[in-house]
């Protein structure tokens, strides 16, 4: 991680945890007009995010999506949008270069093109291609939802094979070491933020530190979207669009599924397919169980540092509890069960 980003995100986490607000942020307002583009609609009017997303149009009727950050000083959300700009340009270059090499079932998938970036004092804004389609969440069949989701994951993993070292650097490579040195920061921030659940958070911390060795030598070499939920996948006939790439990076492939189940936007029947598959994999492969549960605990604690609504917080705590249980039940499984018993006593 770049030193400039590190310098700004540490105060962001601690300030947010202690005071409940993001340092450097302020109420964001979408501009009515930017160059040839005029604001048509605020796409998230009900949400008070540290950034805003709006639909814009020019005189010819061409529609684009504008996303803007504003603040008195650079913070985590500024760097998220800056990274999303890099991710969009990288994906566009990668897609145009290898589109003909992809399997036929993956050629209908794409991400938005970056159109324009505007940067000034206390402000960062970009315009990207407007993608038509219906969110995957609207599909009635949970089985069909899962098939489309898996198709998108396969697409990202296939693109990884064609990534140049320079493109990987632009997307960012997140290794086990990155998770380890960030963990004390998110762990402390979560304890300040959620003191009533300190027992569960401490147990999660113990699981992560115990399971770290299982991910240390694991390859972190896959393009992971980082927020591939049902609303970030659009269907338009046979075409599929993947949106919102601010969390995209090169990391452990298991992390994609972890961020999916951390979203509350999934239907119960869809989640039942996912959880059955996770349980079966953990039962068959103890190493997979350790890796998956360790990363799930890390992701859940990370999510709990934010200013999320109550329903989201409840989901994050349930996933934290799930990660702990998976680690004990499958990751520590042994013939004598002594290790599992000792660890269970520590967590009781």
Interval 177-198: pLDDT, tens: 999 999 998 999 899 889 999 9
pLDDT at 347: 47
Give the highest mean pLDDT range of 65-79, 257-271, 281-295. 281-295
* Cα–Cα distance for residue pair 73/11, rounded to 1 Å: 11
C-alpha span between 319 and 59 (Å, rounded): 47
Q: What span, in angstroms and rounded, lies between the C-alpha atoms of 163 and 91?
A: 9
Task: Give the Cα-Cα-Cα angle 63, 65, 70 (nearest 5 degrees).
Answer: 145
> Is 102 within 8 Å of 158 (Cβ atoms)?
yes
Cβ-Cβ contacts under 8 Å for 102 (sequence gap 6 or more) = 155, 158, 159
For each of the domains in the chain, give its residue range(s) and CATH number, in order of start: 1-130 (3.30.200.20)
DSSP reduced 3-state for 234: strand
DSSP 77-128: HHHHHHHHHHHHHHHHHHHHHHGGGS-GGGTTEE-PPEEEEEEETTEEEEEE
Q: How many CA atoms lie within 13 A of 1 on its CB side?
A: 19
Nearest to 190 by CA among 10, 18, 12: 18
- What pLDDT band is residue 311 in, cutting at 50, 70 and 90? confident
Confirm if 135 and 234 have CB atoms less than 8 A apart.
Answer: yes
- What does the alpha-carbon distance between residue 111 and residue 242 come to, in Å, rounded to a whole number? 5
For residues 324 and 208, give the distance between their C-alpha atoms in angstroms, rounded to a whole number. Answer: 9
- Number of C-alpha atoms within 13 angstroms, CB side, residue 104? 0
Tally of residues, the chain: 348
Report field, pTM of the whole predicted structure over 0.85: yes
Tokens matching residue 223: 């393009």
- Contact yes or no for 58/37 (Cβ under 8 A): yes
Report the C-alpha gap between 74 and 5 in whole angstroms. Answer: 9
pLDDT-derived band at 268, boundaries 50, 70, 90: confident
Residue 37 half-sphere exposure toward CB, CA atoms < 13 A: 25
> 3-state class of 43 per DSSP?
coil
Q: Report residue 247 CA to chain centroid gap.
A: 5
At 33-91, the pLDDT tens digits run 999 999 999 998 876 677 899 999 999 999 999 999 998 888 888 999 999 999 999 99
* pLDDT above 50: residue 348: no
Residue 209 CB coordination number (10 Å): 14
pLDDT tens-digit map of 9-22: 666 656 655 555 54
Q: Residue 154: is its pLDDT beyond 70?
A: yes
For 96-116, how does the pLDDT look when each residue is reduced to its tens digit (9 = 90+)? 999 999 999 999 999 999 999
């Amino acid at each position: 991680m770049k030193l400039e980003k590190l310098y700004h995100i540490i105060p962001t986490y601690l300030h947010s945890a202690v005071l409940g607000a993001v340092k450097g942020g302020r109420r964001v307002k979408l501009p009515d007009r930017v160059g040839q583009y005029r604001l048509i609609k605020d796409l998230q009017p009900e949400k008070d995010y540290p950034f805003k997303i709006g639909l814009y149009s020019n005189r010819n009727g061409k529609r684009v999506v504008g996303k803007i950050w504003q603040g008195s000083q650079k913070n985590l959300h500024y760097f998220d949008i800056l990274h999303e700009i890099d991710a969009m340009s990288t994906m566009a270059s990668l897609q145009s270069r290898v589109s003909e090499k992809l399997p036929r079932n993956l050629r209908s998938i794409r991400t938005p093109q970056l159109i324009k970036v505007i940067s000034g004092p206390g402000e960062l804004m970009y315009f990207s291609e407007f993608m038509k389609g219906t969110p995957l969440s609207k599909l009635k069949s949970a089985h069909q939802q899962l098939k489309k989701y898996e198709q998108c994951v396969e697409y990202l993993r296939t693109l990884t094979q064609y990534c140049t070292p320079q493109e990987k650097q632009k997307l960012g490579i997140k290794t086990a070491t990155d998770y380890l040195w960030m963990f004390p920061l998110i762990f402390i921030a979560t304890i300040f933020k959620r003191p009533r659940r300190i027992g569960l958070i401490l147990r999660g911390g113990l699981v992560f530190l115990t399971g770290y060795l299982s991910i240390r030598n694991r390859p972190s070499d896959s393009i992971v979207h980082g927020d591939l939920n049902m609303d970030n996948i659009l269907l338009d006939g046979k075409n599929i669009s993947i949106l919102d790439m601010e969390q995209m990076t090169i990391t452990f492939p298991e992390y994609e599924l972890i961020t999916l189940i951390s979203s509350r936007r999934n239907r119960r029947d869809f989640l039942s397919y996912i959880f059955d598959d996770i349980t079966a994999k953990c039962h068959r492969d103890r190493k997979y169980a350790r890796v998956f549960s360790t990363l799930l605990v890390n992701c859940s604690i990370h999510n709990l540092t934010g200013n999320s609504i109550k329903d989201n917080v409840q989901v994050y705590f349930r996933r934290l509890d799930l990660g702990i249980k998976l680690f004990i039940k499958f990751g520590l499984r042994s013939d004598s069960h002594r290790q599992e018993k000792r660890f269970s006593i520590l967590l009781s």
